[in-house]
Amino acid sequence: GLTNFTDLFTDPLFWRALWNTTVFAAGSVFIQLPCALGLALLLNQPRLRGRAFFRLVFFAPSLVGLVFVAVIFSLIFEKRTGLLNVLLHAAFGFDPEFPWLESYVMPALIIAALWMYAGFNMVYFLAALQAVERDLVEAAIVDGASAWQRFRHVTLPAIRPVATFVVLLSLVGSFQLFELPYLLLNATGGPDNQGLTLVMYLYQTGF
């Protein structure tokens, strides 16, 4: 009965999982979605060459399975020979043995999810941008509105319904996060349970 809830709310692992999942959800909303919108704005430019090719390139990661993504990013985040550490060391002189999956698990998960889902959300934003009435944009240009003013007062209100949907979709997906950390961290929550999510907590507790 209610004792189950008492046990839940007094379990420090539950609060750890809730915090981790909330941080991941915040990363999805405040990092992933602006990137997706920026890509959509870029690919919505009619003068950009190869738009169809770039749309495919950015959308393609969402077509692959989570197992594939977890395997690839386990190699990318590898401490000594991982691609990310090699690039950061070559470009900025960062520590070549930066411990992504030991001390920075949640940023690593956010980066992996960014690569996988930014292009997926970009498609929603791109469809919304293409539905913005051109007459309104041209009227704003005639009135002397800057690019930022046109985006804020014309484009953003027009795409608000789609943006709201994408935000809700990202929040729901974030709080259902399970497969990526489960596979990337070898069926554990990672060091000090840094990658433990709510669904992983339910799975570990239930089974």
Q: How would you write the pLDDT of the chain (207 residues) with one tens digit per residue?
A: 899 899 999 999 999 999 999 999 999 999 999 999 999 999 988 888 888 899 899 999 888 888 888 889 999 998 878 888 888 888 888 878 888 888 899 999 999 999 999 999 999 999 999 988 888 888 988 988 888 999 999 999 999 999 999 999 999 999 999 999 999 998 888 889 999 999 999 999 888
What per-residue string of b and e applies to 12-41 under the rule 16 or more CB within 10 Å gives b?
eebebbeebbebbbebbeebbbebbbebbb
pLDDT of residue 16: 95
This prediction's pTM: 0.90
